[in-house]
Amino acid sequence: MSKTLYTLGAMETKLARLIRKGVSNLREEQEHHKPQHDFEAVDSGCPQDVDSGVLEIRQVQLQAVKSALERHREGTYGNCVDCGEKIATKRLEALPSAERCVGCQSDFERVIRRNDGQSSSPKPIFYDPEG
């Protein structure tokens, strides 16, 4: 379990750094690139949209990691937030911020799909475009 806690801490640090860097880069782009024509405004929005999309994913990831660290502090880390059963060790090793066992996560995702992706609690999305 201590290896998983170390992994969560490292993930938190890396994601926070990437978010700060991403926000800084977006601000720089906005300050230095002011479109001269309407069509440039439409065209130039694409890279910023991608950057802000990546930034949003990282913010969701960071929140998932912080939630996992909070569950660890509360003594509930490793237990499914829905059914209370233990989450498989292999699952936690693969996804240290997992808050649900495989069965409950499947049910959760099925509900999200049924509700067209609308949910009050975001599911963690782990994608690192920088490898």
Q: What does DSSP assign to residue 79?
A: B
- Alpha-carbon distances, residue 91 vs 1, 42, 48, 73 (angstroms): 12, 43, 34, 20
Predicted pLDDT at 5: 65
- Alpha-carbon distances, residue 96 vs 31, 42, 117, 123 (angstroms): 38, 39, 23, 14
Convert 32-65 to b/e letters by CB count within 10 Å (16 or more is b). eeeeeeeeeeeeeeeeeeebeebbebbbbbbebb
Tally of CB atoms within 10 A around 19: 17
Predicted pLDDT at 24: 67
**Tens-level pLDDT at each residue, the chain (131 residues):** 567 767 887 878 887 777 777 666 656 665 655 555 544 444 445 555 556 777 888 888 888 889 999 999 999 999 999 999 999 999 998 889 999 999 999 999 999 888 875 555 544 445 444 44
Predicted pLDDT at 2: 67
* Distance from C-alpha of 82 to C-alpha of 64, rounded to nearest angstrom: 16
